[in-house]
Amino acid sequence: MTDRHEDEGPEPIVIRAATHDDLTGLSALLATAFDEDPIARWLMPDGEQRDAALQIFFGLIAREICVPQGLTYVTDNLGAAALWEPPLGEWTAEPDIPESAWIDIFGQDAYSRFVVFADLMDMHRPDERHVYLSLIGSLPEFRGLGLASALLDSGLMRWDREGVPTNLMSTNRANLPFYESRGYQVTAEVALPDGGPHLWEMWRDAVPSLGGRGLG
């Protein structure tokens, strides 16, 4: 299933569900998109380590967690991607990734920081049934073309149609207006320890559909 957005530039934006054939391109896309993210830099300050680790990390996330759920969407040029997670308890299969895999990716020090980050995320995950926007990003050369907007808007049309609220945790203050313009509200601001970066939990209630098919 694809979703075309005719009003996002001279060429239609084609959105489709990611498949296992996209894993290499998807992991490279996400590693590039998030290389300068405050959390990535906090986890792995060394740029060379970060570049290598992020591609392996996002490949593992996509292969073992997100793509199997059927809620990972990409633009057809693999210029942008959005990874949604289904409501807790409604996963098609629970991922089982051993601790050793994460340590191999990050190294022990960065893994220890990753555990702090993951625990903080879990602590602030709302109990109310919702879909979680795990990741959304685009390659630098495609930014400003409306790809991320098209991905987010298509997802929200689907969840509005199904009456499901959505939640996300932004790692960058500069991105808050992007989400707020689509109805998200900041519900909490939390800081990682030892002077670490801040996170902004955001929530959006489902709204009555105004038309449009969206993803799905």
Element holding 128 (H helix, E strand):
none
pLDDT, tens digit (0-9, with 9 covering 90-100), for 32-69: 999 989 999 999 998 888 988 999 999 998 888 888 88
Structure tokens at 41: 């830099």
Q: What pLDDT does residue 5 have?
A: 36
Q: Where are the domains of the chain?
A: 2-204
- Residue 34: closest CA among 137, 117, 172: 137
pLDDT, tens digit (0-9, with 9 covering 90-100), for 104-148: 999 999 999 999 999 988 888 899 999 999 999 999 999 989 999
pLDDT, tens digit (0-9, with 9 covering 90-100), for 155-183: 999 999 999 999 999 999 999 999 999 99
How many CB atoms lie under 10 A from the CB of residue 45?
10
- Residue 75: closest CA among 215, 206, 212: 215
Conformation bin of residue 144: beta by default, left when phi > 0, alpha when psi is -120 to 50: left
Farthest CA pair distance, the chain: 49
Separation between Cα atoms, residue 160 and residue 83, nearest integer Å? 17
Domain covering 2-204, topology? Aminopeptidase (3.40.630)
Residue 40: what residue type?
Answer: A
3-state secondary structure of 5: strand
